[in-house]
Structure 1
Amino acid sequence: MDADFVGDNIESDAAALANLGTILIIEDDPRMQKVLRRIFLEEHYAVVVAGDGQTGLDLFRTTRPLAVVLDLILPRISGRELCHTFKSISAETPVIVLSAISEVVDKVLLLELGADDYVTKPFSPRELTARIQAAIRRQRKPASASIFRFADCEIDYQSMTARRNGLPVTLTANEFKLLKYFTDNIHRVLTRELLLNEVWGYNSYPTTRTVDNQILKLRQKLESDPANPKHLLTIYGAGYKFVP
């Protein structure tokens, strides 16, 4: 029996037994397709593969995957356009971009388009699966109340408005995201690396100083005494903790 045929049967059996959901891979390099397919089959996901943007879009609509691994340089429809389209169809489906392009501007652009994370080729299979699983966990978190109140602050996450002592407070989109993660994890000590990965969606860019600066700004806007915070607390040697 042909060895390639046996290998295909093994992968098909693994896909049939998978019960974690379907990963859609959109990649035009056949060798990379094979590598990615095997990685996710070994993690017990079902896998569907598209070699061009239009096929990827068709499969996204028909399979409604658990997550998407998306190359940027594709025939027919570009990865950037696909990312935007996927998020307009199903905003909750995680999209992890996989590309050899590593410039910071591309990372920022993709995050603005709605990508949940960005992994640069060459990559570690363990890192890629960890990023996918983290993105899926973030999307599966139960919905929490839209309005959160603590001390003299009222935060409406749905309308992205904040008030302190009844007066409007202007928060940036990233400040809302960071504060939301804190209020979803009350009393839990959160490391800077965890906050980068869970809030920004990646852990190599920017730097942990970005977290410190964002928390400093939140304290200035929401704490009655920013120099002696009562809610956004520093846990020295560990990270930060939110106490209502």
Structure 2
Amino acid sequence: MSTSLTKHIASNGVATLTLNRPERHNAFDDVLIVELTEALQALADNPAARVVVLTATGKSFSAGADLGWMKRMASYGEAENLADARKLAQLMHVLDTLPKPTVAAVQGPAYGGGVGLIACCDMVFAAPEAMLALTEVKLGLIPAVISPYVVRKIGSSHARRYFLSAERFTPDTALRIGLVHEIAPQDEVGPLAHSWAAQLLNNGPASMQAAKQLVAEVAGRPVCSELNEHCAQRIARQRVSPEGQEGLTAFLEKRPPNWVTQ
């Protein structure tokens, strides 16, 4: 049994996925990509898991592509590289669209695909030691598969700079450009991420899923009558949904809603 990824679901519903290849700086290979994708898909379908925390062991969060994996890819033809790239694309898509909140605890450096994982998470907490970089062009490559998520997070101007320069940048810079939400001391990053995960349990599970979908639906769209109508229909459906009715009733009755465990 592989130990490159560990999984744990606490009794309160917080699920933790931990990248566990510290000797490889938690770099991706084809095995880890499949393991992480399958683990996320399983959590999506598991009602016992309500929030997902993504973290890592060792000094690095993720160094991107594993050297041995890159050597194998270098010998592949275009068709084999395409199949390989599609697996990584699936991982990013599954993480980005997971119907549950995702919280990243970034305790160390993240490069390439590691930055992609961060960009796909809903909330990101990083340590001062968590240097970041998109170094693909140094290898004659491009950050293609992760680009939709990174560009959406940091914008095209910052993406042009960091995609082209391949320079390392600090968590402070990542905070400024929108990739990271908060910086905390290294030994506090994990507890902070889990603290926020626990706070998210106070919110309606279906409403958080719908809110996450709402952001994807309205981001980048011009405000127009069509969008306004879509949003009006969205809140109307949510108000009459079982969770919406329970939340409103609980508020009026001054009691916790049924998804909050005492």
Both proteins in one fold, TM over 0.5 = no
| Rg comparison, structure with higher value | 1
Q: Specify which structure has the higher proportion of helix.
A: 2
Higher RCO structure (Cα 8 Å, ≥6 apart): 2
TM-score, normalised by the number of residues in structure 1 = 0.30
